[in-house]
Amino acid sequence: MNVAEATLAILAELKRQRAAGKREVFVEEESLFALAKLFGNVVPEQVGMNEVAPKPIQKEVKKPGFAPVTEKVPEVIAFEKKTLSSDFPSLPEIKLPDGDKAYQWSSLKEKVMGCEVCNRELNPQGKVVFGVGDLDADIFFCGEAPGADEEKAGEPFVGPAGELLNRIIEAMGISRDAVYIGNILNWRPRHDQAFGNRPPTKKEMSFCLPYLKAQIKIVKPKVLVALGKTATDGLLGHDPKRRLSDFRGKWNQVMDIPMMVTYHPSYLLHNPSKSSKRKVWDDMLLVMEKLEMKISEKQRAFFNS
Ligand code: URA
Ligand code: URA
């Protein structure tokens, strides 16, 4: 994308936000500097958009014949960051109703779709996103949280990361409908930037975890695959010392189910080197071996040369 295209994209986004009723935008200081540099010698102070609201100034006004009175000068409107919710109740472990998997799954889905907190957290046009797939799947892939495409569609992994995940699944010789795909979070984390995603907070993650665990309990897969750091931290508990580069490619145990940790497809989209792809593929080969799936020589050699 060149500067002109980027500017047009920003303009389109600002217009969209204005149409949606938004009247102020927050711009990081860094971005203002970068923009100022890009467009000549305007210094950020002159741009003047990024100030914190000053305290109302008490200005002395002299009025003839009267003692000086203080007049309130109108307050500068702050470019406020959308505040994040901090009150996430802790959900008890979810009791699944008696019945078959399909019945348990639909009643859980209904619960999630009606979940007050999940709905409260949604973006204006966003939907709550619940897991999809085969309830008898051997493999349960767990991602992080819906992105822009997913919140629109109400389905996990349908954007670019989802397309890559589909290709990984197909390379394993199966199809997307034959696995189960879920996320740690049921909604797209709100943030103030026009583009990109915010990783979920620990509070958001622990709120949603019982919903994910209930899906794992219903599907009872033979293998779980944690896609990326958030999924890993969500399912194994946060460990500040954990580095995915050391941790991936290893088996863990979650709810008595073997869990493979690998990189997130989005990570591959940003780091599309053959060696990153081969690492994820090595991890998928381990999954296939665990499930005693047939592996061809051609499959073994993917991203190898
Ligand atoms: N990334 C995720 O982690 N989950 C999705 O559903 C989409 C993108
Ligand atoms: N770091 C992450 O958080 N996720 C990945 O998939 C890779 C590196």
Residue type present at position 184: I
Q: Ligand 2: which residue has its CA nearest to atom 4? A: 228
Taking a C-beta distance cutoff of 8 angstroms, is the pair 302, 168 a contact?
Answer: no
* Rounded CA separation 143/182 (Å): 6
User: Which fold, 44-300?
Assistant: Uracil-DNA Glycosylase, subunit E (3.40.470)
> Burial of 75 by CB count in 10 Å (0-12 exposed, 13-18 middle, 19+ buried)?
exposed
CA 284 to ligand 2 center in whole angstroms: 16
Using the predicted structure, report yes or no on whether residue 46 has a pLDDT greater than 50: no
What is the average pLDDT across 269-274?
96
Q: Is the CB of 147 under 6 A from ligand 1?
A: yes
Taking a C-beta distance cutoff of 8 angstroms, is the pair 118, 128 a contact?
Answer: yes
pLDDT of residue 85: 83
pLDDT of residue 41: 41
What is the average pLDDT across 86-115?
95
Q: What is the pLDDT of residues 133-153, one digit of tens each?
A: 999 999 999 999 999 999 999
Quote the Cα angle for 158-164-166, to 5°: 70
Mutate-to-test residue for ligand 2 from 144, 184, 225, 229, highest number of ligand atoms within 8 A of CB:
229
> Burial of 58 by CB count in 10 Å (0-12 exposed, 13-18 middle, 19+ buried)?
exposed
- Residue in 52, 71, 53 with CA at minimum distance from that of residue 62: 71
pTM: 0.75
CA 98 to ligand 2 center in whole angstroms: 38
CA 142 to ligand 2 center in whole angstroms: 13
* Rounded CA separation 172/160 (Å): 19
Please write down the long-range contacts of 81-84, taking CB distance under 8 Å and 24 or more positions apart: 81/26, 81/192, 82/190, 82/191, 82/192, 84/190, 84/201
Q: Ligand 1: which residue has its CA nearest to atom 7? A: 157
CA 54 to ligand 2 center in whole angstroms: 40
pLDDT of residue 25: 66
Which atom of ligand 1 approaches the CA of 230 most closely? 3
pLDDT bucket at 6, cuts 50 / 70 / 90: confident
CA 101 to ligand 2 center in whole angstroms: 32
Q: Is the CB of 283 under 6 A from ligand 2?
A: no
pLDDT bucket at 193, cuts 50 / 70 / 90: confident
Which atom of ligand 2 approaches the CA of 262 most closely? 6
